[in-house]
């Protein structure tokens, strides 16, 4: 008889599955046909298993709702994109790059600004206002003082979330605050190079006391967007959506076309100039990838 469950961790050739209604994970090996799946097996997969004593076998992987390649996690509801108020300073280009991937993966995005105790609140106003105006949920936190942790916990409750962001921003420290006593390797900031030296390595889903699951993921040093089609890039910028309906040409890329409502929006400050410049850089990157592909 088969049972349903979810993979919380993959390590040493074993899938650690949490069967429905259980509180303990079960070590499982994947059946040969499951191993040979083109899509592979990922943390977060819903599966059907058969038990064999104190272990089990993954017999089938159920269809995925969402899938992230970096980090390799499936069936995620939302991404908590963590940036630091300082040490390292926030990088809007990097933030927008990740948000593009989150939007393209059809996940909800929550922007978490950590280490706010180290700066004056006024210095972050522009960042919070910019992304809140677009429609993103933004949270200000301090893993050191506990500021904003209750708000973050409420956002995580009942959902499957993935934390992501550059090394040294305090992702693991925040997780330890949300789930006290959970031992995670916290990033240590190197004074010499200004980047994280020790980061969490293993991707796993962690059950939260208040309900929900969260994945602790490695920090990102680069984000590949070249799998996104040119025509789909604009869909990853929510503020373009309404304006694009007023563009003269269907399928407008908001770059070289005349009578473009998005470009007009930049002129009238309806679209942030920094975000638009990032869009153009991403667009050119995708064009270059296409040129290389067809050489």
Q: What's the rounded Cα separation, in Å, for the pair 288 and 58?
A: 42
According to the model, what pLDDT value does residue 201 have? 55
- Model confidence pLDDT, tens digit, residues 95-119: 999 899 899 999 999 999 999 999 9
pLDDT category of residue 223 using cuts at 50, 70 and 90:
confident
- Dist. CA 238–CA 249, nearest whole Å: 19
CA-CA distance, 207 to 178, in Å (whole number)? Answer: 11
pLDDT at position 218 over 70: no
- Residue 295 is predicted with a pLDDT of 72
Whether 56 has a pLDDT exceeding 90, the answer reads: yes
Question: Which CATH number does 230-293 carry?
Answer: 1.10.40.50
Residue 60 predicted with pLDDT over 70: yes
Name, of 10-19, 34-43, 277-286, the range with top average pLDDT: 277-286
pLDDT higher than 50, residue 221: no
Q: What is the reported pLDDT for 182?
A: 60
pLDDT above 70: percentage of residues in the chain: 90
- The distance from CA 88 to its chain's CA centroid, rounded to whole angstroms, is 19
pLDDT tens readout for residues 152-164: 999 999 999 988 8
Are 140 and 116 in contact by the 8 Å Cβ rule? The answer is: yes
Rounded to whole angstroms, the Cα distance separating 61 from 14 reads 15
pTM score, whole prediction: 0.86
User: First CA to last CA across the chain, in angstroms?
Assistant: 53
pLDDT given at position 202: 65
> Per the CATH hierarchy, to which homologous superfamily does domain 67-216 belong?
P-loop containing nucleotide triphosphate hydrolases (3.40.50.300)
pLDDT at 124: 95
Check pLDDT > 50 for residue 126.
yes
Contacts of 133 (CB under 8 A, 6+ apart): none
Q: Binning pLDDT at 50, 70 and 90, where does residue 192 land?
A: very low
Helix axis angle for 273-293 and 92-104, nearest 10°, is: 60
pLDDT (0 to 100) of residue 219: 44
Least confident of 65-74, 104-113, 225-234: 65-74
Q: pLDDT tens-digit profile of 164-190?
A: 888 889 988 898 899 886 644 444 333
Radius of gyration of the chain from its Cα atoms, rounded to whole angstroms: 21
Domain ranges of the chain: 3-61, 67-216, 230-293
What pairing do the DSSP bridges indicate for beta strands 26-30 and 14-19? antiparallel
- Give yes or no for residue 196 having a pLDDT over 60: no
pLDDT at 183: 44
5-41 burial by CB neighbour count: b if 16+ within 10 A, else e? bbbbbbeeebbbbbbeeeeebbebebeeebeeeeeeb
In whole numbers, what is the pLDDT of the chain averaged over residues? 89
Topology of the domain comprising 3-61:
OB fold (Dihydrolipoamide Acetyltransferase, E2P) (2.40.50)
**Is the Cβ–Cβ distance between 218 and 163 less than 8 Å?**
no
**Of 64-78, 193-207, 251-265, where does the model show the most confidence?**
251-265
Burial class (CB in 10 A: 0-12, 13-18, 19+), 104: middle
- For 164, the enclosing helix (H) or strand (E) is strand 160-164
Query: Of the candidates 72, 53, 28, which has an alpha carbon nearest to the alpha carbon of residue 202?
Result: 72
pLDDT at 185: 44
Q: Minimal CA–CA distance to 142: which of 166, 163, 119, 116? A: 116
137 vs 50: CA distance, rounded Å: 41
Give the per-residue pLDDT at 222. Answer: 56
């Amino acid at each position: 008889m088969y049972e349903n469950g979810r993979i919380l961790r993959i390590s040493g050739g074993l899938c650690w599955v949490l069967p429905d209604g259980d509180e303990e994970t079960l070590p499982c090996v994947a059946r040969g046909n499951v191993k040979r799946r083109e899509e592979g097996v990922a943390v977060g997969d819903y599966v059907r298993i058969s038990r064999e004593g104190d272990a089990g076998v993954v017999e089938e992987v159920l269809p995925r709702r969402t899938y992230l390649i970096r980090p390799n996690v499936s069936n995620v509801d939302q991404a908590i994109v963590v940036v630091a108020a300082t040490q390292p300073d926030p990088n809007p280009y990097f933030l927008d790059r990740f948000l593009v991937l989150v939007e393209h993966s059809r996940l909800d995005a929550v922007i978490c600004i950590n280490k706010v105790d180290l700066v004056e609140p006024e210095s972050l106003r522009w960042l919070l206002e910019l992304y809140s105006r677009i429609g993103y949920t933004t949270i200000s936190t301090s893993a050191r003082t506990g500021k904003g942790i209750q708000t973050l916990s409420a956002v995580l409750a009942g959902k499957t979330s993935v934390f992501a962001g550059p090394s040294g921003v305090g992702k693991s420290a925040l997780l330890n605050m949300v789930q006290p006593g959970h031992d995670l390797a916290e990033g240590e900031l190197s004074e010499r190079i200004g980047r994280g030296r020790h980061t969490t390595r293993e991707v796993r889903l962690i059950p939260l006391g208040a309900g929900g699951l969260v994945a602790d993921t490695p920090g990102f040093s680069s984000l590949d967007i070249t799998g996104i089609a040119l025509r789909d890039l604009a869909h990853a910028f929510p503020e373009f959506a309404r304006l694009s309906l007023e563009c003269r040409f269907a399928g407008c890329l908001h770059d070289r076309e005349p009578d473009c409502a998005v470009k007009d929006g930049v002129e009238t400050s309806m679209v942030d100039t920094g975000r638009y410049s990032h869009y153009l850089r991403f667009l050119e990157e995708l064009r270059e990838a296409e040129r290389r592909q067809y050489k």
